[in-house]
Amino acid sequence: MHASRAEQLSCSPFREQYREVRSMTLQLTQPFSAEDQMLQSMPDCSPAKWHKAHTTWFFETFILTPHVPNYKPFDTRFQQLFNSYYKQLGPHPYRGSRGLMSRPTLEEIHAYRAHVDESMVRHLDTADEKTAALVEIGLNHEQQHQELIVTDMKNALWSMPLRPAEGSQARLVSKAPNLELVHFAGGIHEIGHHGRSFAFDNEGPRHKVLLQPFQLASRLATNAEYLEFMNDGGYRRPELWLSDGWDTVCSQRWNSPLYWEEIDGDWFEFTFSGMRELDPAAPVCHVSYYEADAFAHWSKARLPREEEWEVAAAHAARNGTLLESGKLHPQPAAGDGLQQMFGDVWEWTASPYVAYPGFQPAAGAIGEYNGKFMCNQFVLRGGSCATPVSHIRASYRNFFPPHARWQFMGIRLAK
């Protein structure tokens, strides 16, 4: 017999999982000062301090307050202050104003986390099925915010006048493995999550799709290949671009991926180790859907549809770079066959983010988690160098608007 969620969460390994996820958040932010953790460089980003409070708010709001008798909130003002977008729970601060929150202090937020953690660890002993499921969502929610902490801090450090100093740089890889096309059969396939392991509601229901035979590139598109696109006038040729993409290129004056800078004729990119010479063999990253689509057109290829990607990834090796590597930057491919399906960069697909057939959001405020964002977004697959290894799977559906670039977003070609 399989243990129930409640029985699993009350066991020592799951109590340890709670502690590990919560401590990873603190580990990721430890190198940064209190001043660093208050930075909000643009409305799409949030301060690291806010991420630490909001993930704690999730456990307090959805688990402790409604399900634990006599639970005393750390500070009742936090219920409104650290609500992100749950409209059914009442008003919340404007997203772009999170960098104005000098109060509460970082020290108070750490005390808030400790207060909630103490109650949560005790509650795991008595959690029923409903609250156990919420704990799983809360842990996966925090892992999403761990990735956001990395990408938001990177944008903040890049935006400030005193950027991190350049560290020592290893010899750059000169050449990526040859790009090959891996063939996949057409026919009726099943996609969507199945089994008893955790998945978000937007990963199901599992359903059948009809695919024509297709091909995927054996690895991600590289910086060297993207430079060829740029040198061939890629950002100056409207025939390569979607109409809205061309308007964005013109209005934003894009001429390269985010974080790239040309210095004395050579290209460099910003990393957590400061400005580094561009590695030609590493995957190109921090490109929008518009840029990915234009590059695919220039390459006489296309972007994969999400169902094609999932069918290809179902038995793919996890040989990419993920958060636990500590590298926080995509690495060149190595080896033969299908590479980098998990990790390094999120891969743009040509699929709009819409509901699967039969999808029903959960009742109540928790139902606002995914379903209400199914508009004007595109699906990305596969995780990145900032994604925890336990958080990614073949059915995982990430989504962002087509102009977004600050996440580790890259390109895999399809035909």
9, pLDDT greater than 70: no
Cβ neighbours for 366, distance < 8 A, ≥ 6 positions apart: 62, 134, 137
Let me know: does 146 contact 388? Beta carbons within 8 Å: yes
Let me know: does 325 contact 389? Beta carbons within 8 Å: no
**Mean pLDDT of the 187-197 span:** 95
Query: For residue 392, what are its two tokens?
Result: 């990614």
Phi-psi region of 245 (alpha: psi -120 to 50; beta: other; left: phi over 0): alpha
6, pLDDT greater than 80: no
90-127 pLDDT per residue, tens: 889 888 999 999 999 999 999 999 999 999 999 888 77
Block residue for tokens 């995914």:
370
Please give the residue that has the higher pLDDT: either 139 or 372.
139
Tell me the C-alpha distance between 215 and 393, whole Å: 21
Residue in 277, 301, 269, 290 with CA at minimum distance from that of residue 179: 301
pLDDT at 361: 87
167, pLDDT greater than 70: no
Rounded to a whole number of angstroms, the CA Rg of the chain reads 22
Block residue for tokens 């063999």:
281
